Amino acid sequence: LAPELRDRVNAAIERAFATLDDVALGVSGGVDSSSLFAMALRLSRARGQPRVHGVNLHYGGRGDDRPHLRELCDALHTEVGRVRPEDCASMLLESLVIDGAPVPWPGAAFQIRLGRLARECGASVMLTGAGGDDVFNGDFTIFAERFARGHWLSAVYDAARLKAAGGS
């Protein structure tokens, strides 16, 4: 299944990039965003477009991905723009309301600053690996349990047929 997943993600990246000149990718050093970033850079380098810029919310803590990001950048011979949490402090009040509506997530100031950094790099759009953990509603065991009970064929079939919210 891994080669098929890779092919489908590559095809999705190619579709998303078809009309873009400059793309920013939010990359943490974790598996989802790092995979997306590496695949996007490979496509960009092979075709010469679109330009790809990495942007990162750079902070430490439990499960710190910064060492992985450093290894990723070294392996890909690239750098990413970094935003530290203290760089976002001035945007905290601004981020509480967007377009006249209250903003319900606490990381909005971080996302606004990353978006501004992406724009400063020349990007017209920013993509992330956010939501990768939620492909199976955050619970991969729904297929693994059926597989373990001996219903392996239907578990694999249903996992392969899984569609994202909105039918895409």
Token pair of 58, please? Answer: 């750079």
Contact 54, 155 (CB under 8 A): no
Task: Confirm whether pTM is higher than 0.75.
Answer: no
Per-residue pLDDT of the chain (168 residues; tens, 9 = 90+): 778 888 888 898 888 888 899 999 999 888 888 888 999 999 999 988 899 999 999 988 888 899 999 999 999 999 999 999 899 888 888 888 888 888 888 888 888 899 999 999 999 999 876 666 666 555 666 777 777 888 878 777 777 766 544 444
Where do the DSSP E strands lie in 5-58? 22-26, 51-57
Instruction: Please count the residues of the chain.
Output: 168
